[in-house]
Structure 1
Amino acid sequence: MKISTNKYLIVITFLLIFVACSTKKNNLINRTYHTKTSRYNILYNGDVSLQTGLKDLNTNFKDNFWEILPVENMPKLEEEMMPDDVKNPSFERAEEKAVKAIQKHSMNIAGYEKNAQMDEAHVLLGKSRYFENRYIPALEAFNYVLYRYPNSNKVYEARVWREKINIRLGNEQLAIKSLKKIVFDKKIKSQDLANASAILTQAYLNLGIKDSALMNIKIAKEKTKINEQKARYGFILGQLYEELKKPDSAAIAFQEIIDMRRRASKKYTIQAHARLAQQFDFENGDTLVFLKRFNKLLEDRENRPFLDVLHHQMALFYDKQKKHDLAVSHYNKSLKMRKNDEYLVASNYRNIAEINFHKAKYEIAGKYYDSTLTKLSDKTREYRAITKKRTNLDDVIKYEKISKTNDSILYVAGLSDVEKNNYYSVFIEKLKAKDILKKKEEERLAQIALEKQSSKSNDNDNTTNASGGRTKSQIEPPSAGGKNPQSSNFYFYSPTNIAFGNKEFKKKWGSRELKDNWRLKSFQSNNKLANAEKQNENNSKVEATDKEKKAENPAYKVDFYISKLPKNKKTIDSLKVERDFADFQLGSIYKEKFKEYELAAAKLEKLLANQPAERLILPSKYILLKIYEIIGSPKGNAIKSQIINEYPESRHAQILQNPNQENKDNQSPEAVYNALYREFENGDTKAAYEKVLKCIDDYAGDEILPKFELLKAKILARLKGLEEYKKTLSFVALNYPNTEEGKKADALLAKDVPALEKLTFNKETKGTWKIVFFKNTNATVEIDTLQKKLEVFFSKNNGQIKWSNDLYNDTTNFIVVHGFRSKQATESTLHFLRNDEDY
Structure 2
Amino acid sequence: MKRPSKAILIILSFTLLVASCSRKKDKFINRNVHAVTTEFNTLYNGYIALEEGRQSLIDGYTDDYWDVLPIERMQIFDEVVLPGQSKNESFTKAEEKAVKAIQKHSMNIDGKEKNPQMDEAYLLLGKSRYFDQRFIPALEAFNYILYKYPASDKINQAKVWREKTNIRLDNDDLAIVNLKRLLFQEDLEGQDLADATSMLAQAFLNTKYIDSAITQLEIASNATKSNDERGRYRFIQGQLYNKLGKKDSANMVFDKVIELNRKTPRIYMISAHIEKIKNFDYENGNKLEITELLTELEENRENRPFLDKIYHQIASYNLNNGSDTLATIYYNKSLRTNSRDKKLKARNYEILGNMNFDKSLYKDAGAYYDSTMANLVLNSKPYRVIKRKRDNLEDVIHYEGIAKVNDSVLRLVNLSEADRVSYFESLIEKLKIKAEEEEEKRKREEAAKRNSGLATVNNQIGSKKSQGGVNQEAIFYFYNPTTVAFGKNEFVKVWGDRVLEDDWRWSSKVNSGVIGSDVNDNPLVTASEEELYDPQFYISKIPTEAKEIDSISKERNYAYYQLGLIYKEKFREYELAKSKFQDLLKSNPEERFILPSKYNLYKIYEALGESDEATIAKNEIIDKYPNSRYATILSNPEQASDRDENSPESLYEALYVKHENQEYAEVISKCEEYINLFDGDAIVPKFELLKATAIGRLHGYEAYSKAINYVGVTYANTEEGIQAQNIEANILSKLTNKDFILDEDITTDYKIFYKFENPDMEELQGFKKTLDEVLENIKYYDLKSSIDVYNSNTVLVVVHDLKNAEVAKAFDQLIEEEDEQKIKEPYFAIASANYQIVQIHKNLDAYLNKDNH
2:405 is equivalent to residue 430 of structure 1: no
- CA–CA distance in structure 1, aligned partners of residues 471 and 615 of structure 2: 90
- CA–CA distance in structure 2, aligned partners of residues 237 and 41 of structure 1: 41
Match of 2:338 in 1: 338
1:620 to 597, 600, 603: 600
- CA–CA distance in structure 2, aligned partners of residues 433 and 583 of structure 1: 33
- CA–CA distance in structure 1, aligned partners of residues 707 and 391 of structure 2: 23
Match of 2:292 in 1: 292
Match of 1:304 in 2: 304
Deviation at 1:402, TM superposition (A): 1.9
Deviations 1:460-496 (A, max 9, x none): 9999999xxx99999999xxxxxxxxxxxxxxxxxxx
Deviation at 1:143, TM superposition (A): 0.8
Match of 1:737 in 2: 716
Give the fraction of aligned pairs with identical amino acids, expressed as a percent.
38
Match of 2:839 in 1: none
Deviations 1:373-394 (A, max 9, x none): 3332113112122233333333
Deviation at 1:733, TM superposition (A): 4.8
**Aligned 8 A contact 2:602 2:613 in 1:** no
2:559 to 582, 599, 604: 582
Deviation at 1:186, TM superposition (A): 5.2
Task: Count the aligned residue pairs.
Answer: 707
1:634 to 591, 606, 609: 609
Pick closer, same or farther for the CA change 1:639–1:338 going to 2, 3 Å.
Answer: same
Match of 1:678 in 2: 657
- CA–CA distance in structure 1, aligned partners of residues 201 and 246 of structure 2: 18
Match of 1:195 in 2: 195
Match of 1:95 in 2: 95
Deviation at 1:148, TM superposition (A): 1.6
Deviations 1:778-818 (A, max 9, x none): xxxxxxxx98899999999xx99xxx999999xxx999999
| Equivalent runs, 1:773-784 vs 2, <5 Å | none
Deviations 1:505-558 (A, max 9, x none): xxxxxxxxxxxxxxxxxxxxxxxxxxxxxxxxxxxxxxxxxxx99986685149
**Aligned 8 A contact 2:531 2:537 in 1:** no
Deviations 1:68-113 (A, max 9, x none): 22211225538399xxx99433323332332233233323222222
- CA–CA distance in structure 1, aligned partners of residues 44 and 794 of structure 2: 101
- The one-letter code of the counterpart of 1:234 is R
- The one-letter code of the counterpart of 1:393 is L
Match of 1:205 in 2: 205
Pick closer, same or farther for the CA change 1:57–1:323 going to 2, 3 Å.
Answer: same
Pick closer, same or farther for the CA change 1:693–1:293 going to 2, 3 Å.
Answer: farther
| Equivalent runs, 1:391-470 vs 2, <5 Å | 391-411=391-411, 420-421=416-417, 423-445=419-441, 448=444
Secondary structure class of the residue paired with 1:184: helix
Give TM-score scaled by structure 2 length.
0.67
- CA–CA distance in structure 2, aligned partners of residues 121 and 722 of structure 1: 75
- The one-letter code of the counterpart of 1:679 is K
- CA–CA distance in structure 2, aligned partners of residues 68 and 655 of structure 1: 59
Q: Which consecutive residues of structure 1, in runs of 5 or more, have no partner in the other structure? A: 478-547, 754-766, 774-785, 822-839
**Aligned 8 A contact 1:197 1:220 in 2:** yes
277-286 or 197-206, which deviates more: 277-286
Secondary structure class of the residue paired with 2:416: helix
- CA–CA distance in structure 1, aligned partners of residues 659 and 535 of structure 2: 59
* Two-structure CA RMSD over aligned residues (Å): 5.7
- CA–CA distance in structure 2, aligned partners of residues 71 and 794 of structure 1: 77
Deviation at 1:199, TM superposition (A): 2.2
- The one-letter code of the counterpart of 2:721 is G
Pick closer, same or farther for the CA change 1:173–1:460 going to 2, 3 Å.
Answer: closer
Pick closer, same or farther for the CA change 1:421–1:559 going to 2, 3 Å.
Answer: farther
- CA–CA distance in structure 1, aligned partners of residues 195 and 635 of structure 2: 63
Pick closer, same or farther for the CA change 1:637–1:611 going to 2, 3 Å.
Answer: farther
Deviations 1:553-573 (A, max 9, x none): 6851499269635656x954x
- CA–CA distance in structure 2, aligned partners of residues 174 and 344 of structure 1: 37
| Equivalent runs, 1:26-45 vs 2, <5 Å | 26-45=26-45
Match of 1:55 in 2: 55
- The one-letter code of the counterpart of 1:432 is I
- CA–CA distance in structure 1, aligned partners of residues 298 and 764 of structure 2: 94
| Equivalent runs, 1:669-708 vs 2, <5 Å | 676-683=655-662, 706-708=685-687
- CA–CA distance in structure 1, aligned partners of residues 48 and 763 of structure 2: 107
Secondary structure class of the residue paired with 2:596: helix
Higher-Rg structure is 1
Deviation at 1:229, TM superposition (A): 1.7
- CA–CA distance in structure 2, aligned partners of residues 692 and 155 of structure 1: 84
- The one-letter code of the counterpart of 2:436 is K
Q: Which consecutive residues of structure 2, in runs of 5 or more, have no partner in the other structure? A: 478-526, 623-627, 733-752, 775-786, 798-822, 827-853
- CA–CA distance in structure 1, aligned partners of residues 29 and 532 of structure 2: 108
- The one-letter code of the counterpart of 1:634 is G
**Aligned 8 A contact 2:160 2:196 in 1:** yes
- The one-letter code of the counterpart of 1:67 is D
**Aligned 8 A contact 2:565 2:577 in 1:** yes
- The one-letter code of the counterpart of 2:609 is P
Pick closer, same or farther for the CA change 1:624–1:436 going to 2, 3 Å.
Answer: same
Deviation at 1:198, TM superposition (A): 2.4
- CA–CA distance in structure 1, aligned partners of residues 559 and 333 of structure 2: 37
Give TM-score scaled by structure 1 length.
0.68
1:560 to 534, 539, 542: 539
Match of 1:267 in 2: 267
- The one-letter code of the counterpart of 1:434 is K
**Aligned 8 A contact 1:75 1:131 in 2:** no
**Aligned 8 A contact 1:460 1:474 in 2:** no
Match of 1:123 in 2: 123
Match of 1:79 in 2: 79
- The one-letter code of the counterpart of 1:55 is Q
Deviation at 1:719, TM superposition (A): 12
Pick closer, same or farther for the CA change 1:459–1:244 going to 2, 3 Å.
Answer: closer
Match of 1:46 in 2: 46
- CA–CA distance in structure 1, aligned partners of residues 725 and 638 of structure 2: 39
Deviations 1:99-153 (A, max 9, x none): 2332333232222223333222222221111111121221111111111222333
Pick closer, same or farther for the CA change 1:561–1:278 going to 2, 3 Å.
Answer: farther
Match of 2:241 in 1: 241
- CA–CA distance in structure 2, aligned partners of residues 435 and 349 of structure 1: 32
Pick closer, same or farther for the CA change 1:788–1:260 going to 2, 3 Å.
Answer: closer
- The one-letter code of the counterpart of 2:594 is E
- CA–CA distance in structure 2, aligned partners of residues 795 and 180 of structure 1: 81
- CA–CA distance in structure 1, aligned partners of residues 458 and 161 of structure 2: 74
- CA–CA distance in structure 1, aligned partners of residues 28 and 632 of structure 2: 100
Match of 1:138 in 2: 138
**Aligned 8 A contact 2:194 2:224 in 1:** yes
